Structure 1
Amino acid sequence: MRNLKLNIEGSWWDSLLYKGHLHLFGTDGSISVFAWETLVSELAQSIAGAEKALRFAFSESNAVYRSTMNVEDVRRCFDELPATEFDISSKELAKYRVSQADSGFPFPHATSSFHYDRMIVATSRGIFGSHYNTNTQDRSEVVRLSPVGANQAWPAYGNVAVAAGNAGLYQIDIRVQDREWPKEQEGDHLSARTCEACDWMFGNIIGMSFEEGSVLARFRTRSLNDRTSPDGADAFQSDDREADINWQRSFSSVDRLEEVVRSKFDPSDRKPLTWGSQDKLYKVEGKNLVVYRLLYNGKLQFIGKLDLPANLTNLVSVKTSLFGLVFEFDDSLLVLTSDGQAHALDGEPVNWRVFPRSRRYENHLHVLGETSLAIYSFNQDVEQDQFKKLIGTRAPANWSE
């Protein structure tokens, strides 16, 4: 399946896609909201035969995993495209602007995300939140949820995982069942180890550290079979992947991952580099990347090993998504897709992000440059065996329905 790229002219600090709208944070502290679904639809209509491929690539990527979908037909849609790269000028983009206002968040921020119609933003001054009206695209007044300065805030299961640098790893309960935000709090301090980044492995939280060693905060999950989304909406319509996951959690323990996955390849004076997301944990062993699966019983199972696509000595960060792994270096990005192919993206980005918890945009990589936003659509994953692939998270089983 061909990979596609959409270039959008303009200069922004950050981007978010949520429930059919593109949110762009300006370098002046503003935020603009654009009708993304309409933009993609009208772009597709302007190119003969492009409607299905562009819809799958940029606005409904989960559709290609449905059991009723013929992969050969989908591949043909992509193969028949006259090009793999498309452009939207700033003038064209302006036609789709729904609103523009001051964001209300401290600028510059570290990360932004949505969770159950709540915008969560991590900054050096703490974690901030704002309720979002999906009908009007209006937001409530910004409130500070936590005074803990953070490199990253990553919400899931009604909580926010916080990578707080030297302060360690935290979790904040944002009480999604309530209409009001909880009182400002530091939250649960899960680990004192330096934490550069965090992610979710089902209901567990992984805190990544380059020097001190990564940790896995484990939680017990209780099944709630009759659970619906907090606002009573049909869970299928939610853009949060956890919307149909039973999620009541209670803290269990914190594992030091170097003790769990240690091998003869690990130098005695340095903790191995490990990170994970959803069903998989990755560990660097020399020139190899070792892959483990997190089982439902909480155990880690070795499932394979592959050659590293590059020397990670100058690695700045790494993120996992459905389509693969994204490595950030000082002046480039390297994407290792789930089919084992490496894609080099030269040039230092202003910012970049993936959408691993989305239902519709999980194949996106957004790279923000000085003069444009490049949206890469990686589409090879549907051709991979989701239970056997080593690279990237597994597509949810209910996507085949």
Structure 2
Amino acid sequence: MAEININIAGDFIDSFIYSGVLFTVDTNGILCSYSWRNLVDSYFRLYTNHSKFHNKILDCREGNNSKIEQNITIVFEKKFLEKNQKGTCCDLDVWNTDLDVKDNILYISSERGLVSLPFLEEWDNGKVMKFNQLIPLWKEAKVFGLSTGSWGRTILAAGDNGALEIMNNGVEQLQKIGFHKNKEKIIDSNICLDCEWSSNSTLAILDGLNSKAMYMFDSIDSDSRFKKNNNSNQNKITEDDIKKIASILNKETAKDISKNEIQHSWFEGSRLYAVDSNNKSFYFKSGSWVEAKGWELNESDAVLKLKNITAGKFIETESDELFRVANGKKELLSEDFTSWRVFPRSKSYQDRIHVVKDEYLQVKIFNI
């Protein structure tokens, strides 16, 4: 299975890409933004080899899918990054444990809790040239992982403190309906080390030490039409709409839908899948679990982490191996990585994975 590898030189610990902006955090706790388009455009102005993949490297939207026939490696050296950054940097003064971005707000978790970095006004056609001041959202304990959802809601994997839901009262949708909530809500009191919310923020996966839990949340209207720049739907918002949403947010419940002996779970779009100790696959539909077919792994696979995007399933094993499973084939991607990330909520980056290695960040791009 052929792929494009873009090796970005640096001592990184994490990365994220959102709306054309590449965010990185290095081993000194320095957060930087880069214009992904400017990096790619600048590279192909210097080197014309593989230029037919120019648009594909930018994103995976329709029309950008030139087929990769053989492995390709592209290198962005440090001097090249500095010269063509079109971005900015700031010192976090801490190593982050996770990153997420929602509605032009960067969320950063660490041993100090959770902070946000809004860039709604600063985003300019895939560039963020200025960082605002970090805003503390929760600082009661270390946060190991986070997942942002609609209406300013964020799930925190807070270790011994369990899984919590907090609200970022600063998001424009909450301000538009005049709602705020300052107290966090405990979703699950068991140890929680990672979490993931479904694309529509109605289902969540919580990862513990040796167990997984899955929760179903109250259904709520999309917050997209409550954004300031969405003028087309402003006249459709009624006082009853606002009261209904505020009531759900205020009384929101989370129901434990965990299935016994679940070994792995993941989202495909908004659908929740799980595999039990007998290697049987299930998906959650209309309030119950339904047996499914097509589980690609075998009983000997000791899965530590599993994520799904259009390019396939990406699986980290307990033996520190990273695999891609696509079209019935299993491919070893790396045995020497620090961390990795895919972007299941993004329509533009369904064809790639970010893999952090000792001396560079590797962006792997696949055919889809």
Please report the TM-score for the alignment, with normalisation by the length of structure 2.
0.80
Is 1:276 aligned to residue 266 of structure 2?
yes
Taking the TM superposition and a 5 Å limit, the aligned residue runs for 1:138-287 are 138-147=130-139, 148-157=141-150, 158-175=152-169, 176-177=171-172, 185=182, 187-201=184-198, 202-204=200-202, 205-222=204-221, 227-228=224-225, 230-232=227-229, 250=249, 251-258=252-259, 262=260, 271-277=261-267, 278-286=269-277
What secondary structure sits across from 1:228 in the alignment? Answer: helix
Aligned-partner Cα distance in 1 for 2:325–2:40: 24
CA 352–213 in structure 1, closer or farther in 2 if over 3 Å, else same? closer
| Equivalences, count | 339
Q: Deviations over 1:358-401 (max 9, x none)?
A: 23223221111111111111223xxxxxxxxxxxxxxxxxxxxx
Aligned-partner Cα distance in 2 for 1:210–1:121: 22
What secondary structure sits across from 2:353 in the alignment? Answer: strand
The structure 1 residue matched to 2:350, chosen from 332, 348, 362, is 362
Aligned-partner Cα distance in 2 for 1:355–1:110: 17
Contact 2:107 2:115 in 1 (8 A): yes
The aligned amino acid for 2:305 is: S
CA 49–101 in structure 1, closer or farther in 2 if over 3 Å, else same? closer
Is 1:134 aligned to residue 133 of structure 2?
no
Contact 1:144 1:184 in 2 (8 A): no
Contact 2:16 2:22 in 1 (8 A): yes
Contact 1:146 1:184 in 2 (8 A): no
CA 234–53 in structure 1, closer or farther in 2 if over 3 Å, else same? farther
2:110 paired residue number: 123
The aligned amino acid for 2:103 is: Y
State the Cα distance separating 1:276 from its structure 2 match.
2.5
Say what the alpha-carbon RMSD is for the aligned residues.
3.2
Aligned-partner Cα distance in 2 for 1:150–1:186: 17
Which runs of 5 or more residues in structure 1 are unaligned?
236-246, 263-270, 381-401
What secondary structure sits across from 1:145 in the alignment? Answer: strand
Aligned-partner Cα distance in 2 for 1:165–1:154: 15
Q: Percent identity?
A: 18
CA 338–186 in structure 1, closer or farther in 2 if over 3 Å, else same? farther
Contact 2:21 2:34 in 1 (8 A): yes
Aligned-partner Cα distance in 1 for 2:343–2:41: 21
Contact 1:210 1:273 in 2 (8 A): no
Which runs of 5 or more residues in structure 2 are unaligned?
233-243
The structure 2 residue matched to 1:327, chosen from 315, 318, 343, is 315
What secondary structure sits across from 2:67 in the alignment? Answer: helix
Aligned-partner Cα distance in 1 for 2:195–2:266: 9
CA 85–219 in structure 1, closer or farther in 2 if over 3 Å, else same? same
The aligned amino acid for 1:3 is: E
Aligned-partner Cα distance in 2 for 1:289–1:90: 47
Aligned-partner Cα distance in 2 for 1:130–1:351: 22
Which is worse superposed, 6-15 or 345-354? 345-354
CA 223–327 in structure 1, closer or farther in 2 if over 3 Å, else same? closer
Aligned-partner Cα distance in 1 for 2:298–2:130: 43
What secondary structure sits across from 2:262 in the alignment? Answer: coil
What secondary structure sits across from 1:216 in the alignment? Answer: strand
State the Cα distance separating 1:128 from its structure 2 match.
0.9
Q: Deviations over 1:320-339 (max 9, x none)?
A: 33322222235533333342
Q: Deviations over 1:47-82 (max 9, x none)?
A: 5584453322x3221x23xxxx5xxxx76x325x77
Aligned-partner Cα distance in 2 for 1:14–1:229: 31
Taking the TM superposition and a 5 Å limit, the aligned residue runs for 1:30-41 are 30-41=30-41
Contact 1:16 1:112 in 2 (8 A): yes
